[in-house]
Amino acid sequence: MKKKIKPLGPYSQYIYRNHTLYSSGQIAICPETNDLIDTNIYDETHQIMKNIKEILISENLDFENIVKTTIFIVDMNCYEIVNEVYKSYFKNRFPARETVEVKGLPANANIEISFIAHK
């Protein structure tokens, strides 16, 4: 990864064990500035997916290795926009997934995505 994002609490950004990568929830933090990108749900989702890509690359994985994701959004009306961005990062198959509307997220983010990848 170019620059590891500093977690907002007492947790690891991800753990890689036994050929499996477990991520914490990723919000749209720009790794260069550690600022939240919150201009709109489209940009937030892209930033999260870019951050996920960097995590995957750091462990010699790619989006094809992701087997499960969980998406938390504060407004289910954003579901289609999130799907539009999300699907553009997967080429051959989509992982198992759930999307959950929540009341709030860390740093007042509008979306958070966690994932599990396997090599």
Could you report the per-residue pLDDT of 22-35, keeping only the tens digit for each?
999 999 999 888 89
Could you tell me the domains of the chain? Answer: 14-118 (3.30.1330.40)
- Where does the pLDDT of residue 8 fall: very low under 50, low under 70, confident under 90, or very high at 90 and above? low
Q: What is the pLDDT of residue 2?
A: 46
Question: Residue-wise over 52-81: b if at least 16 C-beta within 10 A, else e?
Answer: bebbbeeeebebebbeebbbbbbeeebeeb
Q: What is the pLDDT of residue 11?
A: 75
Could you report the per-residue pLDDT of 101-111, keeping only the tens digit for each?
999 998 999 99
Question: What is the residue-averaged pLDDT of the chain?
Answer: 92
Could you report the per-residue pLDDT of 45-67, keeping only the tens digit for each?
999 999 999 999 999 999 999 99
Percent helix / strand / coil, the chain, rounded to 5: 30, 30, 40
Q: At what angle do helices 41-58 and 79-87 cross, to 10 degrees?
A: 30
Calculate what percentage of the chain has a pLDDT beyond 70: 92
